[in-house]
Structures are given as C-alpha cells and as structure tokens.
C-alpha cells in the first residue's frame, strides 16, 4: 500500500484568539498544522469584538499553510478526504443574506455590553421556563442577547431586519457560509452543539422553537437562521470554495467544548472531560436524554452524529479562573517567572501547609453562583512559604472541578467513571495527581492534547467513513496516555473538600 492511498482529515479550529488548521491521520495524530492569531477589538470596557472577514481570511491562510507543510512531508493534498470545523461558541455574526457582507463586527462570547438588556429579559413573564427548553439560563453568554443588542443599537442591522435580508449565525455557520463561497452557494447551516448556545433551539426537538423566538420577540420572517443539521453529515456543509483544498467536502462541525468531549472519546454516559484553559470547561456525558440541572449547570448538545443514532447531551460547568490564577502568580505577585514553573515551586513543600486560596477574582460560577465573592487566601501563618501558596493555587482549580462533578453526578444520577483532561494546566503531574486524589477516580491525560481539533476531525471522518463508527475510534489517540490514580483515601479527600467549602462560604460578600 503506497503512502498516497492513506486517508487524512483536516480540522479547522477557529478559537477566540487564533485560527488553526490541523491535518490528522487515521490514528488521530496531527501530521501538519498552521496557526494565525487575529485582532482582538475592545472598543469600550466590557466590549469584545472580532472582524468577521479577518476570521475567514485567517482560516484560509491556515489551510494553505498546513497543506504546504503536509506536502513537504511527501503527502498529496488529495489524500485529505474531508474537513471538520470546531469553533468558539456563542460569538455572533450578522450579515446581509443577499450580499454576504457582515453588518457589524462579530460580538465575542465574553462580551458583556448587553448586561442591562439581559436583566430586563429576566423580568419578562416566562423567563423561568426558558431553561427547560433551551438548557441555558439567561446570561450575557448566549448569542440571543448579542443579537437583540444589535437590533436595538445598530441602524444597519435594524434596517436589514425590517427589509427581511438579515442573516444571523454563530461562528460555525459564518465559516461554512463563507468558505463555500457566500450567497452564490448559500450553504447556511449550524450543528446542534452550536445551535444549543443561541437560546433559539429546543433541546428536545433539536430545532428552532416558536415559543423561544416569541419570548425574545424575534420575527422568523425577518431574520434568516441557519438550518440545524447533524454534527456529522456528508452533504449538508458543502465544500471548500477556495484555498488549495478547493472542492474538499466539509463534513463535520462541533462547538469547541463538545469537540473536546468527542476528541476525548467520551461517547457514553458517565464520561467527562475538563479543559484546563484560562478558565476551565467541564463537560459530562449524560446520554440520549437532556438533564436539566438543579445546580445551575448548563445543558448542551454533546454531539449528533446522525446515521440513525440519537443525539447525546452533556451537562456543562465552567470555572472562571483556572490557568489565569497561575498567570496571576507570575504577573501580579512575581512568585514565579513563567506559568510552567508552578509545579516546581509547589513541589518544594509537602502539602498546602494549611493554606486555602479561593480564586474568586470575579465571583464564583457553578455550582456556587456567588457574585460577591472575591479572591481570598485563608490559613496564612508565620510558617507559610511561597510553595504553599503555589500549591493552594493549583488546588483551587481541582476543588472547583470536584464541586462541579459532584453537582453533575447529583443532577444526572450517573456515577462518574473517569475524568479525561486537556488544556495547559494538565501538563502539571502534581495538579493532575491532586485532581485524582480529590475526586477519588482516575484522571486520564492523552499524550496528544489537540483534543478539540481531533473532535472536529472525528465528526468529519465519521461522515465519510474514514472511521466506520465509534467502535473503530477506541484505538485513536491512545499512544502514551497517562493515568493518575487516587493515592489518598476517600475520607481524606472529603475532609480536604469540606475545608475548601468552608473557605468558599467565608469568601462571600466582599464585593459591594
């Protein structure tokens, strides 16, 4: 079998700060990649935007760059059978559906300009029923608030809406539309993992819901919404209209956190993944029926691979401060020179020396929801050293992860069997061992950590038969993975967690 008969899958990873294109082989190894950062636009405090056209051009540049690298290895571009997409979620683009021109910058998921608008919506009759249909509570994250703000404040958007030429999309829909060539081809679709972040989709039907659109007073006759299709589909997403891969089909699409869950192959209920980024995102597979949380976790679509299978759902919890707490020790306190040194410093001591650091720099998210908490360090004595603070900083993320996992088990009735991990902080063996100790189950870390991009490649590959089904993925990305088993008793773990919970209660009420 010559090397030219081997099949590869491309993966577009369109993130918040950069775009990337990776090319994976059948074993799930990336053989080539190209990355490009793009401009972050902050017009006012709390505002965060991207240029939608720069997002497209950055992706096209990355495709060409990675393919060039791929070909210097002796491969041929025609071995790339399909392309998948994964993307920053909730970020909102509005354009003229006749010309394909954006009407405003993309409003990024982190943007909070519409805080007051969200507050008003919460008072509207029926606001408490939204979560049962949409799975997410009213907050500044979902796309809906960004759209409503633009309809209220941007005349170009309002005019397009009144004329019936307004198109709305999350980043995945915008990418697919433009990469196919815009209005000429008019491939206008989204997958359920992205559509479930808009607040327009009914979790149970996986389609737009009239009562949701009514609640937000959106007239579906005046605004084009992307058609919701399976996350893996051989036809629905069209094909690339330009770049060196012109004509290659796009066959898979997943929002970034769902893609990481798929890349970690958490296909069955009770499997979970935590991505330790700047913040942390924990997704927990709950199976084929959505579970609406009692602890303020979000319910989201994990993936929907079609082919006669049902969609799978996940509970999602996020920690506001994870990797950024380590950055805080570098930039603000100067305890270490770079983030990678934290483990070394933490290992200079045996334990946390009685120190607990609640890293609530901007309040606490799920399952606590304490807005007025602030970062607080407890248990300082004359004996406290730098190492103790470093250790307490790492433990803070592990404790919050445990709190979310406990809530997820309670909500879903599924016991967690193992936690798959990725993201920057998981490079620290100490942190991952601490995590396993605290949750009393194994933590599994793959050697190849590009799990988000791999998830998109898996969706695309399943659609075109590069992998026949989930069974065949068992051996993908298993080389060199590390498993951390708990080394302390459950009693000891519970005692440490009780101390953390006490600290959380004591950090309340600082912000006026």
pLDDT tens-digit series, residues 139-183: 999 999 999 999 999 999 999 999 999 999 999 999 999 999 999
Please indicate whether the domains covering 3-254 and 257-321+402-486 agree at the CATH topology level: yes
For residue 133, pLDDT beyond 80 = yes
| % of the chain surpassing 90 pLDDT | 87
Q: How far apart are CA 477 and CA 462, in angstroms?
A: 16
For residue 374, pLDDT beyond 50 = yes
Span 90-117, mean pLDDT?
A: 96
Residues 468-499 have pLDDT tens digits of: 888 889 888 888 899 999 999 999 999 999 99
Q: How confident is the model at residue 286 (pLDDT cuts 50, 70, 90)?
A: very high
Torsion of CA 105, 108, 110, 113, to 10 degrees: 30
DSSP string across 441-461? S-EEE-SS--HHHHHHHHHHH
At 1 the pLDDT is 34
Pairing of strands 8-14, 443-445: unpaired
Taking every pair of Cα atoms in the chain, the longest distance, rounded to a whole number of angstroms, is 71
Categorise residue 263: left if φ over 0, alpha if ψ from -120 to 50, beta otherwise.
alpha
At 365 the pLDDT is 84
- Domain positions in the chain are 3-254, 257-321+402-486
Residues 12-62 have pLDDT tens digits of: 999 999 999 999 999 999 999 999 999 999 999 899 999 999 999 999 999
Residues 298-323 have pLDDT tens digits of: 999 999 999 889 999 999 999 988 88
Q: For residue 2, count other CB atoms closer than 10 A to its CB.
A: 5
Q: How confident is the model at residue 279 (pLDDT cuts 50, 70, 90)?
A: confident
**HSE-CB of 332 using CA atoms within 13 angstroms:** 7
Q: How far apart are CA 257 and CA 422, in angstroms?
A: 11
The two structure tokens encoding residue 154: 């941007």
Q: How far apart are CA 33 and CA 70, in angstroms?
A: 8
Q: How far apart are CA 130 and CA 196, in angstroms?
A: 12
Q: How far apart are CA 432 and CA 446, in angstroms?
A: 12
Q: How confident is the model at residue 2 (pLDDT cuts 50, 70, 90)?
A: very low
Span 74-90, mean pLDDT?
A: 97
Residues 340-367 have pLDDT tens digits of: 899 999 999 999 999 999 999 988 888 9
Fold of 3-254: Nucleotidyltransferase; domain 5 (3.30.420)
- Are 257 and 316 contacting, i.e. CB atoms less than 8 angstroms apart? yes
What's the pTM value of the predicted model, to 2 decimals?
A: 0.94
At 99 the pLDDT is 97
**HSE-CB of 146 using CA atoms within 13 angstroms:** 30
For residue 3, pLDDT beyond 60 = no
CATH architecture of the domain with residue range 257-321+402-486: 2-Layer Sandwich (3.30)
With tokens 């979902």, the residue in question is 142
At 510 the pLDDT is 87
Q: How confident is the model at residue 4 (pLDDT cuts 50, 70, 90)?
A: low
For residue 200, pLDDT beyond 50 = yes
Q: How far apart are CA 264 and CA 279, in angstroms?
A: 19
CA distances from 431 to 118, 392, 399, 435, 481 (A): 37, 10, 11, 6, 16
- Are 66 and 21 contacting, i.e. CB atoms less than 8 angstroms apart? yes
Residues near 100 by Cβ (< 8 Å), separated by ≥ 6?
177, 178, 182, 183
Q: Which of 60-64, 221-225, 316-320, 382-386 has the lowest mean pLDDT?
A: 316-320
């Amino acid at each position: 079998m010559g090397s030219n008969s081997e099949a590869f899958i491309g993966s577009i990873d369109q993130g918040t700060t950069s775009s990337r294109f990776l090319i994976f082989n059948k074993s799930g190894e990336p053989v080539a990649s190209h990355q490009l950062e793009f401009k972050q636009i902050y017009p006012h405090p709390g505002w965060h935007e991207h240029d939608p056209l720069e997002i497209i051009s950055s992706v096209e540049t990355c495709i060409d760059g990675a393919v060039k690298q791929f070909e210097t290895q002796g491969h041929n571009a025609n071995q790339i059978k399909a392309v998948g997409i994964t993307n920053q979620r909730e970020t909102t683009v509005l354009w003229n559906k006749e010309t394909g021109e954006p009407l405003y910058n993309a409003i990024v998921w982190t943007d909070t300009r519409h805080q007051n608008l969200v507050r008003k919506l919460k008072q509207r009759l029926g606001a408490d029923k939204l979560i049962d249909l949409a799975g997410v509570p009213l907050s500044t994250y979902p796309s809906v608030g960004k759209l409503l703000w633009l309809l209220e404040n941007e005349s170009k958007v309002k005019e397009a809406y009144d004329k019936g030429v307004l198109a709305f999309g999350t980043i995945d829909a915008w990418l697919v539309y433009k990469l196919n060539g815009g209005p000429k081809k008019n491939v206008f679709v989204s997958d359920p993992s992205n559509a479930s972040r808009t607040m327009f989709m009914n979790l149970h039907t996986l389609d737009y819901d009239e009562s949701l659109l009514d609640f937000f007073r959106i007239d579906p006759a005046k605004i084009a919404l992307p058609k919701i299709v399976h996350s893996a589909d051989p036809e629905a997403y069209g094909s690339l209209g330009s770049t060196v891969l012109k004509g290659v089909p796009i066959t898979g699409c997943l929002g970034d956190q769902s893609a990481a869950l798929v890349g970690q192959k958490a296909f069955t209920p009770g499997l979970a993944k935590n991505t330790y980024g700047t913040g942390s995102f924990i997704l927990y597979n709950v199976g084929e029926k959505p579970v609406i949380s009692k602890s303020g976790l979000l319910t989201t679509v994990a993936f929907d691979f079609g082919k006669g299978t049902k969609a799978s759902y996940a509970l999602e919890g996020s920690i506001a401060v994870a990797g950024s707490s380590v950055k805080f020790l570098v930039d603000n306190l100067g305890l270490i020179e770079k983030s990678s040194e934290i483990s070394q410093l933490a290992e200079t001591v045996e334990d946390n020396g009685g120190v607990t650091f609640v890293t609530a720099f901007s309040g606490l998210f799920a399952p606590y929801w304490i807005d007025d908490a602030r970062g607080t360090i407890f248990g300082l004595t004359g004996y406290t050293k730098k190492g103790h603070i470093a250790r307490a900083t790492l433990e803070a993320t592990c404790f919050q992860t445990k709190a979310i996992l406990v809530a997820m088990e309670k909500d879903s009735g599924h016991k967690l069997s193992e936690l798959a991990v990725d993201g920057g902080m998981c490079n620290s063996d100490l942190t991952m061992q601490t995590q396993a100790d605290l949750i009393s189950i194994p933590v599994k870390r793959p050697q190849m950590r590009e799990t988000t991009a791999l998830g998109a490649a898996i969706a695309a590959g399943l659609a075109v038969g590069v992998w026949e089904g989930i069974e065949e993925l068992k051996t993908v990305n298993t080389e060199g993975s590390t498993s951390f088993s708990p080394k302390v008793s459950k009693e000891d773990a519970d005692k440490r967690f009780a101390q953390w919970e006490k600290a959380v209660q004591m950090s309340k009420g600082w912000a006026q």
